[in-house]
Amino acid sequence: MDRKKITIVGAGNIGATLALLLARRETADITLIDINEGVAKGKALDIMEASPILGFNAHVVGTGNYEDTANSDVVVITAGFPRKPGMSRDDLLFKNYEVVKSVSEKIREYSPEAFVIVVTNPLDAMTYTALKITGFPKERVMGMAGVLDSARFAYFISEKTGVSVENINAFVIGGHGDDMVPLRKFTTVAGLPVSEFLSKEELEEVIDRTRFAGGEIVQLLKTGSAFYAPAASILEMVLSILWNKRKVLSASVYLDGEIGEYYGASGLCVGVPIVLGKDGVEEIIKLDLTEQEWKEWKRSVESVRSLIEKLPL
């Protein structure tokens, strides 16, 4: 059986961690590409030297040349400037726009059939950039944010309740920024409402921590941002596509038509619940939000819109 091919653009902490996670699952052969070719090659070689011990036969190669990425099934864009302490995700807008634009042009040229998963911040604006520059169908371009935000929310609930993370289903939608929308109503512990386990105050505390979770890690690390949980989140999306799992996940996708009107977010990429399978974004789910959630959602959408309007697209 021919293995699938995944290209990871950017061999930094997220890219390299993802390459290892994907290789261990023997999901695909992996091409790690970086503007610094030595870093991509070095990390790829290091991962392959772990393969006899960890027991995987997937191949990881490093390169600085886009020709080596040709005909990828999935391309993950992690390249870009990271957040530094005191920086908002939006401060990165124009710097990372240039990066994502040039990467998207290369993807269009070398892997015209690929699914594209964007991780670069500010996430929703960069997903929109990749969609517009590649010209790919909207089902094939998505941003990884909701999976990560939901995982953080779930972990904080587990920590607060003392209940296993495996029992917790948490859901976060909206823009990947400080006004993301953790959904109280759709967050459950072993299928029971989270309100059975946490008081209103405790839940609000957890929600607040979720909104600023990325910043919390940036502050602690001082010289970078989160990478283990982001890499795990991308892995979940890649497996859902390549193994046709049709998981319901939160991801930043392009909204238009009836669904765009329903969410009041036509012409934007923003985080919503989707069904993710072999055809990419197979369905966008309409949620019946509470009044408070709709209010938070609208605020989140406006933040995303204001960023996208600044882009020269």
> In whole angstroms, what is the distance from residue 214 CA to residue 228 CA?
12
Pull the structure tokens for residue 19. 């390459």
Report whether pLDDT(297) > 60: yes
Q: Which of 89, 106, 176, 211 is catalytic?
A: 176
| C-alpha separations of 145 from 18, 62, 253, 293 in Å | 15, 26, 10, 18
Give the residue from 170, 231, 216 showing the smallest Cα distance to 47.
231
Check: CB of residue 273 under 8 Å from CB of residue 174: no
Is the model's pLDDT at 18 over the cut of 60?
yes
Q: Are 87 and 225 in contact (CB under 8 A)?
A: no
Helix (H, G, I), strand (E, B) or coil at 260: helix
Predicted confidence (pLDDT) per residue in 124-176, tens digit: 999 999 999 999 999 999 999 999 999 999 999 999 999 999 999 999 999 99
Q: Is-catalytic flag, 59? A: no
Mean pLDDT of the chain: 96
Q: What is the pLDDT of residue 1?
A: 55
Note the pLDDT of residue 2: 79
Is 272 strand, coil or helix? Answer: strand
Q: Burial of 132 by CB count in 10 Å (0-12 exposed, 13-18 middle, 19+ buried)?
A: middle
Q: Which domains does the chain have, with CATH numbers?
A: 4-143 (3.40.50.720), 146-308 (3.90.110.10)
